[in-house]
């Protein structure tokens, strides 16, 4: 299993440009998430999805959109990039199964996309 993969690894955008951050998981997880991490801070949830066709807002959704057409993919869209969106973006997935204490609802993370908006 490749786990959770994200592309691109790095990107520089100009103010007002748009882009899509890609996230794919091959673990057949129902739940997927997008987080952003600002320097010296913890992660904040942007959007999440509990299954194909279902998405919901997290703590900091403004300026972003998501879609979930398949179980595997959960792209994050920035329509009008702003300097405040400069951050590292992490995608994660989990399976709300009935496994042992360690596996139950454990979230697995991708390597991140470092985005700079100038």
Partner 1 sequence: KQEVTQIPAALSVPEGENLVLNCSFTDSAIYNLQWFRQDPGKGLTSLLLIQSSQREQTSGRLNASLDKSSGRSTLYIAASQPGDSATYLCAVRLSYNTDKLIFGTGTRLQVFP
Alpha helix (H) residue ranges in 35-77 = none
Considering the rule CB under 8 A, would residue 111 count as an interface residue with partner 1?
Answer: yes
Q: How many CB atoms lie within 10 A of CB 91?
A: 27
Among 19, 45, 52, 60, binds partner 1 (CB under 8 A): 45
Of residues 50-69, those binding partner 1 (CB under 8 A): 50, 58
CB of 60 to partner 1, least distance (A): 12
Instruction: Return the number of the residue (17 or 71) whose C-beta is nearest partner 1.
Output: 71
Q: Which residue has the tokens 């994050």?
A: 76
Instruction: Return the number of the residue (17 or 75) whose C-beta is nearest partner 1.
Output: 75
Among 21, 23, 25, 31, binds partner 1 (CB under 8 A): 31
Count of residues for the chain? 118
Among 21, 81, 94, 117, binds partner 1 (CB under 8 A): 94
**CB of 27 closer than 8 Å to CB of 38:** no
Q: Calculate the alpha carbon distances from 28 to 31, 40, 56 in Å.
A: 9, 32, 19
Considering the rule CB under 8 A, would residue 44 count as an interface residue with partner 1?
Answer: yes
Considering the rule CB under 8 A, would residue 23 count as an interface residue with partner 1?
Answer: no
* Per-residue tokens: 50: 């509990």
* Per-residue tokens: 5: 């993969």
Considering the rule CB under 8 A, would residue 34 count as an interface residue with partner 1?
Answer: no
């Amino acid at each position: 299993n490749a786990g959770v993969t994200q592309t691109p690894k790095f990107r520089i955008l100009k103010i007002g440009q748009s882009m899509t951050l890609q996230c794919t998981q091959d673990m057949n997880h129902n739940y997927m998430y997008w987080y952003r991490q600002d320097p010296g801070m913890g992660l904040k949830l942007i959007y999440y999805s509990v299954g194909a066709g279902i998405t919901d807002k997290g703590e900091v959704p403004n300026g972003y959109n998501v879609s979930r057409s398949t179980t595997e993919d959960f792209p994050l869209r920035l329509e009008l990039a702003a300097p405040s969106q400069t951050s590292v973006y992490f995608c994660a997935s989990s399976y709300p199964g009935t496994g042992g204490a360690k596996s139950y609802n454990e979230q697995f993370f991708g390597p991140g996309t470092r985005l700079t908006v100038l």
